[in-house]
Amino acid sequence: MSETGSGWRLSLLEVGVAVLVLVLLAAYLLPAIEESRASARRSQSRSNLKQVGVAFHNYHEAFNCFPPGGTFAADGTPHHSWTLFIQPYMAASPFYNLIDKNHPWDDPVNRDRFRTGHSYLDDPSLPPSRTAAGFPAVHYAPNQRLFHRNSSSRLKDIPHPGQTLMVSDAYGDLPAFGDPINWRDATLPFRTSSRGFGHNAPERRDGTHVLFADGSVDFLANTADAERHRQLAGAGVPEPALDLTTQREVPYRIPASPGWTYFYQVRGHQRSLAHFSLSPDRTRLIVDLGNLKADESVWRQEIGEWRKSFQELVEGAPVEAVEISGDIDASELEPFIALPSIRTLDLRRARVRGDATDVLLRKTDLAILRSVDE
């Protein structure tokens, strides 16, 4: 019995020693593993910025200027951001082609696509995140001296491209993917202002990667050196007018009022989701009827399920323009033609099944927009 007990105690001692060795090894190796992971994240961040630089320069090659920081209508309405314009040059053209460039980024025709799309502008040192309005957050921002409202900066107008910051990590509140107001002030020291640059991750307090206007990327330490930041902002590049670089005082939120009125309706054998949007003044209606893949006989039995709800939506509304996208049967055009105030029917993004001639001729003063191949 004693020998057995002694052997048992020896086994426990051996196990205890083994566990202690493992704990010590883990304590020794974990910092090295984490440092290796941090190094990999930094390397990926550098690679991301290089890709952004290539996209900017490919855009410049095509249009002889860099993309605008954001496009804005004459009345000041924000339309689209540099983050959209470089998408075709970042293997993201399918998403780019889904966006209607004739309408603002947060217009109902585009809003859900930006919400569900991928920004392609994530920093691996930060977890994927969303803004308060539900859009994917963009982790990078450009230099406002080069990219601002309706800007068109050219490489030849930058005296020191190898020293001028083009894009870097956005510090503080991150902008929404698609938001045209997304630029920062490079004259501000890193990590000192939400209007400036710097990395949000605690592991990156020592510095941030910077993409320069010549396409090179470097890691710069955080300092308050005013001369260095003057160079980063673009020595010799004219300072834009203040109204061209104004940022939001608070993070973007979809306006609660006035707002668009929506309703969704399931239709067709594949339970395709129809989407109806009515503008605040109730004069413009956007209709997305989805993509119906049911066989013809079943599909024709089930179309038109949305008509009753549609009548409730537009009751009393002075709808003048209707834009339709997706699959629609010729007979489904009738409720739109019957709108008493309709003046324009846009079918350029619609796929009309059947002969719609008789239906469309019922209103002789109606302007009908069709694609050129129809």
- Domains in the chain: boundaries: 44-245, 261-369
CA distance 29 to 42: 20
Q: Is the pLDDT of residue 57 over 80?
A: yes
Q: What are the tens digits of pLDDT across the range 98-154?
A: 898 988 898 888 888 888 877 678 887 788 788 877 888 999 999 999 999 999 999
pLDDT at 1: 46
Q: Taking the CB of residue 247, how many other CB atoms lie within 10 A of it?
A: 16
Q: Is the pLDDT of residue 281 over 50?
A: yes
For residue 235, name the pLDDT band (cuts at 50, 70, 90).
very high
Residue with the larger pLDDT of the pair 282 and 217 = 217
Q: β-strands 344-353, 207-212: how paired? A: unpaired
Q: Is the pLDDT of residue 158 over 80?
A: yes
Averaged pLDDT of the chain: 83
Tokens (6 digits) for 158: 């930058």
Q: Is the pLDDT of residue 349 over 90?
A: no
pLDDT at 25: 65
CA distance 276 to 174: 31
Q: Is the pLDDT of residue 239 over 50?
A: yes
Cis omega (within 30 of 0) for bond into 258: yes
Q: What is the DSSP letter of 163?
A: T
- Segment 320-344 shows an average pLDDT of 90
Q: Is the pLDDT of residue 318 over 80?
A: yes
Q: Where is 21: in which H helix or E strand? A: helix 2-63
Q: Is the pLDDT of residue 299 over 60?
A: no
Q: Is the pLDDT of residue 322 over 90?
A: yes
Q: Is the pLDDT of residue 219 over 80?
A: yes
pLDDT at 134: 82
pLDDT at 257: 47
pLDDT at 365: 87
Q: Taking the CB of residue 305, how many other CB atoms lie within 10 A of it?
A: 13
Q: Which of 125-134, 267-276, 345-354 has the highest mean pLDDT?
A: 345-354
CA distance 248 to 169: 18
CA distance 343 to 322: 9
Percent of the chain with pLDDT over 90: 40
Question: What is the four-CA torsion angle of 9, 11, 13, 19, rounded to 10 degrees?
Answer: -150
Residue with the larger pLDDT of the pair 247 and 216 = 216
- Segment 215-228 shows an average pLDDT of 91
